[in-house]
Structure 1
Amino acid sequence: MTLLIVALAIVFIVLTVLVISKTQTLLKGVKGETEQNDDVVDSANNMNGFGLFIFWILSVIGFVWSFLYAKKDFLMAFGDIPTASSVHGKETDFWFWFGMAVITVAFLIVNSVLFYFPLKYRYDKNRKAHFYPHNNTLEVVWTLIPAIVMAGLVFTGLRVWNKVMSDAPKDAEIIEIMGKQFGWQVRYGGVDNGKLGNHSFKLIDDAAGNEFGVDFTDENSFDDFTNSSEMHIPKGKPVLLKIRARDVLHSVFIPHMRVKMDAVPGMPTKFWFVADKSTADMKAELGNPDFKYEIACTEVCGRSHFAMKLILVVDEPADYEKWKKEQKSLLASKPEFLDKVPANLKAKALKYLPSEAPSDSTTASASTSLPTVTSLR
């Protein structure tokens, strides 16, 4: 690829020097500094015409070669490269390549004519130029056709965009992913109702282990659990990612799923999709037992931005539910958070603690609160 670029650059420089040289000779003739010679003029025009057309042929060859050379690295369905691993990804890929095909055909036609005309209509002393000021039919044709094609591309793209960015289905699995320098944190709604508890930036306390700022006054928080090493999602079920950032701008990018959405401090964003290939499916399809889906940050967020990655595991639905049940809630991992639970909810919170007895202070706090709850009822 590098050698081709160098060769084209050399050809371009040589042609430029020749054009400048011949132009200077012609200008001298026009100014009367030298005697005008039709043979010199013909020679210069022939050289320019053939040179430009040869340059275009070489450019097309280089364009085709570079595409064939690089296609092995495309995240598209070419040869051994698999199709997208999400339902919407396949549709967006199709319309991307459809648009690229339309643009490429238009590019080749227009530029082929552009480079052919200097050769076709180069100076000929025996030919008279035809004065052709205007043609309404031609104007309508070359305005109407591009307008129709572009409108078609815009409206089909808008239809797909509206579908991709629509509200997630009600049965979607809700997962929160939070970016911070320089890693991803993931929070799940637990196995009871799948709802995420409230959070507040005022409650963030890394030293205590509450990196998400989970609000334990909300009973939906009691079964929430977190993970900072990998994200699990179910195959074939809608997944709604609730996205936020703790410090600077980040961006959630799952290339195989065609998922990309910025994580903006103070402005929660979201993206939903359906993964239709599990990690095991991709390993079998690629013949690569070491394959892993990856979540990367695609917004430069600091000096360690390059290392901000997270493993994504797509499980079969049954395996995903089994994995969720094996996870320990944040409250179970940090029993001391029970102190932040309101007195009237401590009884509900206790069932998420480990089976062994909690600390004396926690037990006392919970036991003294229970009679109060009973009397209020």
Structure 2
Amino acid sequence: MTILISILALIFIVLTVLVVNRTQSIMKGIKGAEAESESEYLGAPDKSNSANGAGLFVFWLLSIVGIFWSYFDAKQYFLPESSSIHGKETDFWFWLSMAVIMIAFFVVNSVLFYFSYKYRYQKGRKATFYTHNNNLEVIWTAVPAVIMAGLVFSGLRVWTKITAEAPADSEVIEIMGKQFAWTVRYPGVDNNKLGNYNYKLMDDAGGNPMGVDFSDENSFDDFSNTSELHIPKGKPVLLKIRARDVLHSVFIPHMRVKMDAVPGMPTKFWFTADKSTADMRADLANPEFNYEIACTEICGRSHFGMKLLLVVDEPADYEKWKKDQKPLLTENAALLEKVPANLKAKAMKYLPQDEASVEVAVDQTSGLGNTSTILK
């Protein structure tokens, strides 16, 4: 690094010396040409002056062609059509902002390149010098300020709306990122309430990778999924987002959902999907289409493969799907050990019948010395 800095410093010194020498030569030429005709002094426009002005304007015309070509050529890589209510509003203001900016860009640069040709040097032409113009100052300050303020406040209104508290009837779902997969947890039938969690309780071997706290009875009917995330069409969905190890980011392109998953700092995002998976397959005439969730924060070597299938169901299908899922306690009866003694009776109903019978028998005979007989 020291050698590189030394080389750059040396190059800077050399260039500085060259610039100073060149400047001195120009100044000498100007002073020596005061008595000569205008066409002979150093720096006077030559026969290429008009060609340079025309060339600049042609360059701008070719640039316009290139800009439009690149837009239409790259359009296939733009974000797909939005499938959420807030996404459509976000897209509208995004493209409106782009239109305003592009209009200003084309107007300003067209005038700039045109002026370079229109007002190129011509012998005998006199320039008009304005020391100040209050009206011009007010116009070019006020107009952009008003337009930009309008765009900022309209965008702020949308942003405030989608980052506000989710509606009371929202479907609450938790998604947790870890290297290199997503795990999803849903509330069961207990009034859409997820149980608490504690990072100290995370135990892959014990069947509790999300650290669900079974001392909270709201956890008893929670269920999880590592292969897909189901959400209902037309109903607000509140995603509670967290990370287990490093920084991740939940990205659902079609829904215009993007929020970081930060270790130790839960985040959230709520949205309403207005097109089911079946709707999108019909619209695109593609029976293989699927929504997906991707991680957009580089989180390690296998970051590229951190995806999750997203299924948007019709409301009735979603409720049916939920009823078919099995709570964590049903899937892994060993988790009953994490339940406090005073809540075990409530937790029993989520265990398979045979497991629950054994547990009841063990409880009834504890301390009598014949537990092993009953278990047989």
Bin for the TM-score computed over the shorter chain: 0.7 to 0.9
Q: Is the 8 A contact 1:183 1:309 kept in 2?
A: yes
1:113 aligns with 2:111: yes
1:148-199 deviation per Cα after TM superposition (whole angstroms, max 9, x unaligned): 0011001101111111111001110000000000110000001232211110
Instruction: Tell me the TM-score normalized by structure 2.
Output: 0.85
Q: 1:191 to 1:123 in 2, by over 3 A?
A: same
Which amino acid is the alignment partner of residue 61 of structure 2?
I
CA distance in 1, matches of 2:107, 2:268: 41
Structure 2 Cα separation of the partners of residues 317 and 302 of structure 1? 37
**1:363 maps onto 2:360 in alignment:** yes
Q: CA deviation at 1:73?
A: 2.5
Residue 84 of structure 1, CA deviation: 0.8
Partner of 2:183: 185
- Matched residue count: 339
1:99 to 94, 97, 100: 97
The answer to which of 231-240 and 335-344 deviates more is: 335-344
User: Is 1:75 the counterpart of 2:73 in the alignment?
Assistant: no
**Structure 1 length as normaliser, TM-score?**
0.85
* Secondary structure of the corresponding residue to residue 280 of structure 1: helix
Letter paired with 2:360: T
Q: Distance in 1 between matches of 2:286 and 2:40?
A: 68
Match of 1:88 in 2: 86
Residue 211 of structure 2 aligns to a residue in which SS?
coil
Question: Hey, what does 1:252 align to over in structure 2?
Answer: 250
Aligned partner of residue 356 in structure 1, secondary structure: helix
Equivalent residue number for residue 278 of structure 1? 276
Asked whether the equivalents of residues 215 and 221 of structure 1 are also in contact (C-alpha less than 8 Å), the reply is yes
Matched, 1:62 2:59: no
Asked if 2 retains the 8 angstrom alpha-carbon contact of 1:251 and 1:299, the reply is yes
Which residue of 1 is the match for residue 56 of structure 2? 52
Rounded to whole Å, the distance in 2 between the matches of 1:153 and 1:366 is 67
What is the DSSP-based 3-state SS (H/G/I as helix, E as strand, rest coil) of the residue aligned with 1:283?
Answer: helix
Helix, strand or coil: the match of 1:48?
Answer: helix
- Match of residue 234, structure 2, among 223, 236, 241: 236
Paired AA for residue 68 in structure 1: F
Q: How does 1:194-343 map to 2 (within 5 A)?
A: 194-343=192-341
Report how far residue 126 of structure 1 moved. Answer: 2.0
Q: Distance in 2 between matches of 1:237 and 1:38?
A: 79
The offset of 1:72, in angstroms, is 2.4
CA distance in structure 2 between the partners assigned to 1:367 and 1:96 by the alignment: 66
Query: Per-residue CA shift, 1:331-359, capped at 9, x if unaligned?
Result: 00110111221122111111111122448
Structure label with greater radius of gyration:
2
AA of the residue aligned to 1:162: T
Q: Is the 8 A contact 2:174 2:184 kept in 1?
A: yes
Take 1:158 and 1:365, find their aligned partners in 2: how far apart are those partners? 60
Taking the aligned partners of 1:325 and 1:339, their CA distance within structure 2 comes to 25
- Classify the secondary structure of the residue corresponding to 1:41: coil
Within the candidate set 147, 150, 168, 2:145 is matched to: 147
- RMSD of aligned alpha carbons: 2.2
For residue 321 of structure 2, what is the amino acid of its counterpart? Answer: W
The separation in 1 between residues aligned to 2:179 and 2:238, in whole angstroms, is: 23
Could you tell me which residue of structure 1 aligns to residue 168 of structure 2? Answer: 170
Deviations 1:28-52 (A, max 9, x none): 9647599964798242321221111
Residue 307 of structure 1: CA displacement?
0.6
Q: Distance in 1 between matches of 2:188 and 2:29?
A: 86
Unaligned runs of 5+ in 2: 1-21, 367-376
Secondary structure of the corresponding residue to residue 353 of structure 2:
coil
Q: Which amino acid aligns with 2:70?
A: S
C-alpha distance 36-138 of structure 1, shift in aligned 2 (>3 A): closer
Q: Give the whole-Å Cα distance in 2 for the aligned partners of 1:51 and 1:203.
A: 70
Q: Cα gap change, 1:106/1:367 in structure 2, threshold over 3 Å: closer, same or farther?
A: farther
- Find the aligned partners of 2:138 and 2:38 in 1 and give their Cα distance: 42
| Correspondence for 1:43 among 41, 47, 51 | 47
Cα distance in 2 between the residues matched to 1:44 and 1:31: 24
Q: Hey, what's the Cα distance between the residues in 1 that align with 2:279 and 2:78?
A: 19
Q: For residues 164 and 43 of structure 1, what CA distance do their matches in structure 2 show?
A: 61
What 5-or-longer segments of structure 1 have no aligned partner?
1-22, 77-82, 370-377
